[in-house]
C-alpha cells in the first residue's frame, strides 16, 4: 500500500536529507551485487549514522513528530512503572533504560521513584542514536538537574547487570527479515524478501523495490519452524525478528539479579502468524499516519514490526531467563494502580484533568494501546511476585 497522497510533504531540507540516505542505501545495494536483505535496509533507514530516522535530528516523538509513545502521553505511565520498580530498587538499586527516546520516561520515572523514596543509585541509558542521546542529556539536565549525579549513558550492553532493565518500544524498532512462504512452507521453500534498486537504466520510475531470494541459514531454519508450527496459507508473508530474539537472549548472560521489562506491541506466535494476517505486521509512521510502504522517504519515517513474544521467550529461556509475567499494557498499568492514581486527579478542579483522563484512556483502552501493547517480564533471582502481573497474567498464551 502506497501512503496516501494527502500526507504532508516534507520541507526541502528534509527531502534533501532523505535523498542522501537513499543514495547511501543504493550504494550499499550496488556494492552487494544488486540486492540487500530487508533487515539491512531497515537497519540503514533507521540507524545509518547522521542520516537514519533515529540517528538524525528529526523530532520523532510526540505531537510534533511521527508517533506518540506511552511515556509521552502522560507521567501516569512512569508512575505505574515506579510501583513495579521500587521493590527491585531495595535489592538491586540500578536501572538501565534501553532506547530512551526523548528522555521523557527517565525524567518521570526518576521523579516518581524519588517520591517513593526508592531512587536508584545509577540510572543508565543505552541509546544507539547519538542525536537522541544529546536530546536526552539536555532534557534530563533541564528537568531533574538535582539527580544528574545518578544518570549515566552507556555505549553498549554491560557485561554484567543487576537491577531493572526497561525497554519501551525498543524491540519493535529492531530490524526484521521479511519472508514469503509461497506454498505455506509445505514444500520446504521459503523466500526472503529483500530490496533492490528498480531499473538503473532509467526506463521506469527509479526507486527501491522488493525482490525475493531463497532464504538461507538461520532465517530458513526459523521460517520452516514457523511453518511447521502454524498453518500458513500459500503466498503468506510475514516477519521474523532474529535481532530482537538475540538481544533478549543476550540478557541471559548479562543479568545477574533483577528484572527485564519489555513493553511493546505484539502477540504470541500463534496470533502473530494467524492465517488471515497474510501480509505481516510491518508498518511505517509518518506524521501520525500509519501506512505500509517502507520505501517511502527513507530517513523521514519510522519503520516497525510487531513483536512475536513467543519467539522472545523461546530465545530467552534457554539463555537462563525466567518468564515472570506476560500481560496486556492495560492490565499491567491497572495492577500497578493506574485507576487509583487517576481518581483523585479526576475529582479535582485541575484544568489538566481532562487531558489526564484522555491520556489514561489511550493507555488502557482496548482499541488504543491497552490490548495491543504487552508487557513481558523476564528475570533472575527475584523471589517476590510482581505487582504488574498480579491479575490477568497471560503467560500461558505464549
Ligand X SMILES: C[S@@+](CC[C@H](N)C(=O)[O-])C[C@H]1O[C@@H](n2cnc3c(N)ncnc32)[C@H](O)[C@@H]1O
Q: Give the binding-site size for ligand X (rule: CB under 6 A).
A: 20
Q: 226: number of CA atoms within 13 Å, CB side?
A: 33
Pick one of 39, 132, 249, 259: the residue that binds ligand X (CB under 6 A): 132
Among candidate residues 18, 7, 69, 9, the one with its CA nearest the CA of residue 45: 18
Cβ 100 to ligand X shortest distance, Å: 6
Site for ligand X, residues 165 to 184, rule: CB under 6 A: 168-170, 173-174
Cβ 398 to ligand X shortest distance, Å: 22
Of the pair 129, 196, the CB lying nearest ligand X is at 129
Q: Does 360 bind ligand X (CB under 6 A)?
A: no
Choose the binding region for ligand X from 36-44, 128-136, 178-186, 362-370 (rule: CB under 6 A). 128-136
Rounded Cα gap, residues 160 and 380, in angstroms = 13
Cβ 191 to ligand X shortest distance, Å: 26
Q: 544518570: which residue's cell?
A: 151
Q: Does 315 bind ligand X (CB under 6 A)?
A: no
Cβ 81 to ligand X shortest distance, Å: 11
Site for ligand X, residues 86 to 105, rule: CB under 6 A: 98-101
Cβ 96 to ligand X shortest distance, Å: 10
Site string for ligand X, 44-83 (x = CB under 6 A): ----------x------x-------x-xx-----------
Task: Please count the other Cβ atoms lying within 10 Å of the Cβ belonging to residue 12.
Answer: 8
Rounded Cα gap, residues 240 and 222, in angstroms = 8
Q: Decide: helix, strand or coil at residue 295.
A: coil
Q: Decide: helix, strand or coil at residue 212.
A: strand
Rounded Cα gap, residues 284 and 76, in angstroms = 27
Q: Does 164 bind ligand X (CB under 6 A)?
A: no
Cβ 128 to ligand X shortest distance, Å: 4
Cβ 311 to ligand X shortest distance, Å: 16
Rounded Cα gap, residues 327 and 302, in angstroms = 26
Of the pair 35, 153, the CB lying nearest ligand X is at 153
Rounded Cα gap, residues 209 and 138, in angstroms = 39
Site string for ligand X, 247-266 (x = CB under 6 A): x-------------------
Pick one of 22, 37, 74, 129: the residue that binds ligand X (CB under 6 A): 129
Cβ 139 to ligand X shortest distance, Å: 12
DSSP string, 133-192: HHHHHHHHHHH-GGGGGGEEEESS--SSEEEEEEEES-GGGS--EEEEETTTTTTS--EE
Q: What is the 3-state secondary structure (H, E, C) of 101-136?
A: CCCHHHHHHHHHHHHCCCCCCEEEEECCCHHHHHHH
- Which positions touch ligand X (CB under 6 A)? 54, 61, 69, 71-72, 98-101, 126-129, 132, 168-170, 173-174, 247
Amino acid at each position: 500500500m502506497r501512503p496516501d497522497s494527502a500526507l504532508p510533504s516534507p520541507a526541502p531540507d528534509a527531502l534533501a536529507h532523505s535523498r542522501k540516505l537513499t543514495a547511501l542505501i543504493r550504494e550499499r545495494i550496488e556494492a552487494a551485487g544488486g540486492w540487500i536483505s530487508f533487515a539491512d535496509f531497515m537497519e540503514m533507514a533507521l540507524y545509518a549514522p547522521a542520516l537514519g530516522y533515529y540517528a538524525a535530528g528529526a523530532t520523532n516523538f510526540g505531537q510534533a513528530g511521527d508517533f506518540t509513545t506511552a511515556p509521552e502521553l502522560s507521567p501516569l505511565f512512569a508512575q505505574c512503572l515506579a510501583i513495579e520498580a521500587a521493590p527491585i530498587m531495595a535489592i538491586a538499586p540500578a536501572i538501565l533504560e534501553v532506547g530512551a527516546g526523548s528522555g521523557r520516561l527517565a525524567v518521570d520515572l526518576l521523579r516518581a521513584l524519588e517520591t517513593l523514596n526508592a531512587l536508584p543509585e545509577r540510572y543508565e541509558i543505552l541509546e544507539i542514536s547519538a542525536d537522541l542521546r544529546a536530546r536526552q542529556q539536555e532534557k534530563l539536565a533541564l528537568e531533574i538537574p538535582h539527580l544528574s549525579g545518578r544518570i549515566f549513558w552507556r555505549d553498549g550492553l554491560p557485561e554484567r547487570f543487576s537491577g531493572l532493565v526497561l525497554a519501551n518500544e525498543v524491540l519493535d524498532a529492531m530490524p526484521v527479515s521479511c519472508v514469503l512462504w509461497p506454498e505455506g512452507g509445505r514444500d520446504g521453500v521459503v523466500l526472503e524478501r529483500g530490496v533492490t534498486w528498480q531499473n538503473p537504466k532509467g526506463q521506469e520510475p527509479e526507486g527501491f523495490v522488493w525482490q525475493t531470494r531463497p532464504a538461507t541459514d538461520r532465517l530458513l531454519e526459523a521460517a520452516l519452524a514457523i511453518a511447521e508450527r502454524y498453518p500458513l496459507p500459500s503466498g503468506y508473508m510475514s516477519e521474523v525478528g532474529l535481532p530482537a530474539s538475540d538481544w533478549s537472549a543476550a540478557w541471559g548472560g548479562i543479568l545477574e539479579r533483577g528484572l527485564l521489562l519489555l513493553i511493546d506491541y505484539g502477540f504470541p506466535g500463534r496470533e502473530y502468524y494467524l492465517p488471515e494476517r497474510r501480509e505481516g505486521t510491518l508498518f511505517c509512521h509518518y506524521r501520525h499516519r500509519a501506512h505500509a510502504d517502507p520505501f517511502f522517504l527513507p530517513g523521514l519515517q519510522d519503520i516497525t514490526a510487531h513483536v512475536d513474544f513467543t519467539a522472545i521467550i523461546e530465545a530467552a529461556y534457554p539463555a537462563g531467563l525466567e518468564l515472570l509475567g506476560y500481560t496486556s499494557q492495560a492490565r499491567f498499568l491497572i495492577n500497578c494502580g493506574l485507576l487509583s492514581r487517576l481518581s483523585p486527579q479526576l475529582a479535582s478542579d485541575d484544568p489538566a484533568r481532562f487531558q489526564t483522563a484522555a491520556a489514561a484512556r489511550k493507555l488502557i483502552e482496548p482499541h488504543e494501546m491497552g490490548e495491543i501493547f504487552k508487557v513481558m517480564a523476564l528475570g533472575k533471582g527475584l523471589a517476590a511476585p510482581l505487582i504488574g502481573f498480579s491479575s490477568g497474567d497471560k503467560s500461558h498464551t505464549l
